[in-house]
Amino acid sequence: MKRQKLRIFHSFFLFLLFLLSIFIIPIFLMIDILFNIKRSDKKRYFNERFNLFYIFKNISNYKNSICNKNSPFIICVATSAGEISTVETLFESNNVNLLIFTTSITGRDKNLNLNYSQIFYLPLPNIFYLTLIFSMSKPDSIIFLEHEFWPSYFIASFLLNISIITLQIRPSLLKSKLSSIFYINLLRLSDIIFLTESKEKYPDNFPFYKVKLDNVDIKTLKMAEEKVSNLKNSVIFASTHEEEEDIFFDSIKFLKDNLLNTKDCLDFLIFLAPRHPNRSKEIHENAIKKGIKSVFYSSIKDEIKIFFSNLESSFENQNQNINKSYYELINNIKTKELEDLNHSKISKDEPFIIIVNEFGVLDYLYKYSKVAIVGATFAELGGGHNIYEPLLKECFVIVGPYLHNMLNIFKNAEKLNLTFKVNSEFKELSEKIYHAWVISTQYQNKKGNPDFSDSPFEKLYLSQSSFKQHILDEILKVSGNS
């Protein structure tokens, strides 16, 4: 009886959405035009959104000239450039035909690294439009990513018997009662669902019978573009926030005063990369209060690059030459920069950090770092930032007690002794940084470079690769290519 009532409610809800998609279209059209009339690519935008003949022509050209005839044809709704990157991660080693619909300029202009794929603006989300478009293009399946749930797309796909795949479904989507009703009723139309977290974090009325895998975050399935082969001589505090930086400063000071100066360990550069680089001056002032000197990455990035490029030859000569190069770098930092920051000359025995005040350099710095301490995990700040990016660059990763994201990859890496969790206590953090630094030497060759073969990093990489293939197999199965 309860199940029958649920079906009636579900049908009624879908009928309401169907009616809304008919009557709301003039309003939607007017709002869309008003908001986008001044955009630089408005001609392309309006043609790809509203001109049915133009849409037919685009899709027809794509299918005739780009598609791989031996692979399924999949449409994906991924409205932002970030979501498109997630799709790239999943399909990067597969020759599936992927037509991506987006709403953003950055998404539309993104260069895809996929062989048989193309991006167009999202056609008008109207049931009649979509029925015509899908009937003409005949996709084997349609993928919805994260929160991009356009009801008319779901209903049109369902009515035309097109397989519906929903990826990256997070518990946060279902926080409020209203959003839970909306998303769950649409999710019931899915053929397969992939959850980012374990099932127990989702409400009891979730359609678990459609769930193929839980604890799946597509972002952690990215394959390394290249194996790291350079010598590493840095530690990085990555994507940090104000609420946790006092702990980091105290750990840096303790590390320098009580560990590096008393143990047989090479000195290394310490980078602090805030989540919001516009806070760099504030971070510098807070560091001074903690007795830590700092310079901005933008002022010495040329010297940093030279230092990194000289590391390998320094190691080949003798380990102490790395220390010499390190001290030369410190002492060669521009005097003007130090004066501007109210510093005297930096001593080799003083705690010292480089504040990363630019965007887009984390990947580069991970490449030269042995240990990464990932931010938003030492305070309640949303569950933590991406821990997989440093792992891809063969960094040991340390997190605090508030890691709630990417738990699956964390646990897998933890089993391999690549990730560590500590409490919000600076001494424990310092000791774990030192510990990770020391054990990292077990996985380097005679030249000091990381030795990927048979290392835990390779095992993690192979494990993720196998897991990714399993997901692809499930998607291809419902897309008619098993």
According to the model, what pLDDT value does residue 281 have?
A: 94
Report the alpha-carbon angle 298-300-302, nearest 5: 100
Out of 80-89, 414-423, 444-453, least confident range: 444-453
> In this structure, what DSSP letter does residue 450 have?
B
Q: Are 287 and 294 in contact (CB under 8 A)?
A: yes
Confidence of residue 5 (pLDDT cuts 50, 70, 90): very low
Q: Identify the residue whose tokens are 């940093």.
A: 304
pLDDT tens per residue across span 306-330? 888 777 665 555 444 555 555 566 5
pLDDT tens per residue across span 211-229? 999 888 888 887 766 667 6
Task: Return residue ranges of the chain for CATH 3.40.50.2000.
Answer: 234-451
Angle separating helix axes 127-137 and 2-23, nearest 10 degrees: 100
Q: Identify the residue whose tokens are 């990215």.
A: 222
According to the model, what pLDDT value does residue 326 have?
A: 56
Asked if residue 341 has pLDDT above 70, the reply is no
Task: Return residue ranges of the chain for CATH 3.40.50.11720.
Answer: 2-221
Percent share of the chain, pLDDT over 90: 39
pLDDT tens per residue across span 344-364? 555 555 678 999 999 889 989
HEC string of 121-153?
A: ECCCCCHHHHHHHHHHHCCCEEEEECCCCCHHH
φ, ψ dihedrals at 117, nearest 5°: -130, 160
- In CATH terms, the fold of domain 2-221 is Rossmann fold (3.40.50)
Q: How far, rounded to the nearest angstrom, does the alpha carbon of residue 12 sit from its chain's CA centroid?
A: 38
Beta strands 163-169 and 269-274, pairing class? unpaired
How would you class 5 by CB atoms within 10 Å of its CB: exposed for 0-12, middle for 13-18, buried for 19 or more?
exposed
Q: Are 162 and 139 in contact (CB under 8 A)?
A: yes
- Residues near 160 by beta carbon (within 8 Å), at least 6 away in sequence: 131, 134, 135
Task: State mean pLDDT over 411-423.
Answer: 94
Asked if residue 333 has pLDDT above 80, the reply is no
Structure tokens that stand for 309 in this block? 């490029």
φ, ψ dihedrals at 188, nearest 5°: -65, -20
Out of 88-102, 103-117, 433-447, least confident range: 433-447
pLDDT tens per residue across span 173-207? 888 888 888 889 889 999 999 998 889 889 999 99
pLDDT tens per residue across span 241-250? 999 999 999 9
In one letter, which amino acid is 447?
K
Q: Are 399 and 222 in contact (CB under 8 A)?
A: no
Asked if residue 373 has pLDDT above 60, the reply is yes
Helix or strand or coil: residue 398? strand
In CATH, which superfamily holds the domain spanning 234-451? Glycogen Phosphorylase B; (3.40.50.2000)
Task: State mean pLDDT over 395-408.
Answer: 91
Out of 10-14, 195-199, 372-376, least confident range: 10-14
> In this structure, what DSSP letter does residue 453 have?
T
**Residues 146, 83: Cα–Cα separation, whole Å:** 8
Task: State mean pLDDT over 427-438.
Answer: 92
Average pLDDT, the chain: 83
According to the model, what pLDDT value does residue 328 have?
A: 62
According to the model, what pLDDT value does residue 395 have?
A: 94
Asked if residue 420 has pLDDT above 90, the reply is yes
386: left (phi over 0), alpha (psi -120 to 50) or beta: beta
Q: Are 144 and 86 in contact (CB under 8 A)?
A: no
